[in-house]
Amino acid sequence: MNDRVLTHPQLASEPGYFSKSAAKVAVIPAHAGIQFVGQIASTNNSMHSLDSRRSLPPNGVVGGGNDGVTGRGQDVHHLSPATSPLAALARRIVLGRLRGLTQGSLLIEEVGAVHHFGAGLPEARVSVMNPDFWPRVAFGGSVGAGESYMAGDWHSDDLSGLLRLLLRNREVVDGMETGLARLSAPLRWLAHRRNRNTRAGSRRNIAAHYDLGNDFYRLWLDETLMYSSAVFERPEMTLAEASTAKLERICRKLGLGPHHHVLEIGTGWGGFALHAAGRHGCRVTTATLSRQQYELARERVAAAGLTDRVEVLLTDYRDLTGRFDHLVSIEMVEAVGAANLDTYFRQCARLLKPDGAMLLQAITIADQRYQAALGEVDFIQKHIFPGGFLPSVTALASSLTRASDLRAVHLEDIGPHYGETLARWRENFLGAVDAVRALGYPESFVRMWLFYFAYCEAGFRERDLGTVQMLLAKPGWRGAPVLGRLPDVAGC
């Protein structure tokens, strides 16, 4: 089989940021059928390189640290001082910002110096391995810090703990995005604008993340292949049990039964469709834009003997037709884009029968930060989910009010469960890191995903991010209340 070429924006060159001529190629073995092309190694501009030479060891762990990269066993003599004038200037800027730390304490070590900020708990530690760390953070803010981590410029023995500490000092994080860091923001915004969620743009954006390869996702997701927040009804639950509990919670909220025909927008790998049809007997029509998800979901449906109950479509939600009893959309709305939110809810309402209901699970940002976030491009948008955005609860409610006749009848925040879900994914990923490498992914890709897991885990554990399940109903819906039916009231 000939290798196929997959140019991926997570590591591909971008105007004004990476040196295009210096891009190098990592080839996934021919049996995987994919060739991965991207910016994975050093460039002539040391400030903007993603240097894969500073790599993870074979087992992914050095010194026992829980970020999978390094720990307190790191030899400080291997650290690098800020030697160039640019690095020295950037170092002063970054250290100056960190003096504003008021909650917890942060230790930064480099050759010849140890810097301590704040006091008390929680504690976090950073080891600067390469002086490129300083200009990347000074000129790139939080995005630069993530890219510097990808390059191996720095390590922490508790990456999620470090990011939680920084979120508790929000004014320090926000300060990192000002000053010189503003110089790179317009370039990120222009690049992000190319990822608008038109029909063609949505296909590209979905492929960029979800078509990395089913073999890759199978390495660290549980057997349900659910790539969304689980619900840990008991702390001792396995990830698969918690994923199933989430699916069952959705089915119970909608009161699904054999007489229902359910539309799912965002198939994933078929986890919800298999659960709803297999356990509740309903018919499910499910739609995705990911070719690889589509193919594997169809295989799983056939293997489960549910082809008479489940139909998998490869299509855009905007092109769906028909009328359905209920609608489910699990963490798909983040791929819609703010500009298309009204279109999304208008279409959902059209696809529901007059007495139908919709269960929406969505990752959310605080209402107070929503407008500012619309004008920013963070690490996740640049490197993980091109075209993605996070709505707030108010933005969701306002949009469905403007664009549809749907009403919110129940809301539950399961955000803390996402923090635990991400911690389990990261643990699984580290346990399979050799297999990830065997698929041909470079070290910068491995480190990018470790940063992604920790970045998001910190956001959910610190309640900087939320995840809501919203039950939205058409005017004719008369379903039983989620918490059980109260005694009937005369006239109702």
* Structure confidence by residue, pLDDT tens digits, 417-463: 999 999 999 999 999 999 999 999 999 999 999 999 999 999 999 99
Q: Does 50 have pLDDT greater than 50?
A: no
Instruction: Please state the pTM of the whole predicted model.
Output: 0.83
pLDDT reported for residue 62: 34
Catalytic residue among 251, 282, 348, 456: 456
Structure tokens at 210: 């979800």
Torsion angle of the four alpha carbons 299, 302, 303, 309, in this order, in degrees rounded to the nearest 10:
130
Closest CA to 242 of 250, 233, 255: 233
| Torsion 189-193-194-195 (CA) sign | positive
How many Cα atoms within 13 Å fall on the side-chain side of residue 301? Answer: 26
Residue 431 burial (CB < 10 Å; 0-12/13-18/19+)? middle
Higher pLDDT, 49 or 168: 168
Specify the amino acid at residue 308: D
Beta bridge partners of 310: 284
Q: How far is it, in rounded angstroms, from Cα 93 to Cα 111? A: 18
Structural domains for the chain? 1-44 (no CATH), 50-183 (no CATH), 199-473 (3.40.50.150)
What band does 182 get if pLDDT is binned at 50, 70 and 90?
low
Q: How far are the Cα atoms of 75, 402, 424, 453 from residue 418, in angstroms, in the given order?
A: 34, 30, 10, 11
Q: How many CA atoms lie within 13 A of 170 on its CB side?
A: 6
Give the separation between CA 246 and CA 238, rounded to whole angstroms: 12
- Supply the DSSP string of 433-459, one letter for each residue: HHHHHHTT--HHHHHHHHHHHHHHHHH
Helix (H) or strand (E) holding 460: helix 443-461
Q: Using alpha carbons only, what angle is made at residue 393 by residues 203 and 271, rounded to the nearest 5 degrees?
A: 50
Is residue 197 very low, low, confident or very high in pLDDT (cuts 50, 70, 90)?
confident
Contact by Cβ (8 Å): 462, 168? yes
Residue 456 a catalytic site member: yes
Q: Which of 65-69, 134-138, 391-395 has the lowest mean pLDDT?
A: 65-69
| Residue 137 pLDDT exceeds 90 | yes
Q: Please report, for residues 124, 173, 179, 387, the alpha-carbon distance to residue 163 in angstroms, rounded to integers and kept in the order given.
A: 9, 10, 21, 24
93-105: string of b/e by CB count within 10 Å (b at 16+)?
Answer: bbbebbeebebbb
- What pLDDT was estimated at residue 61? 36
Selection from 408, 380, 382 nearest residue 395 by Cα? 408
Q: Which residue has the higher pLDDT, 52 or 108?
A: 108
- Model confidence at 7, in pLDDT bands (50, 70, 90)? very low
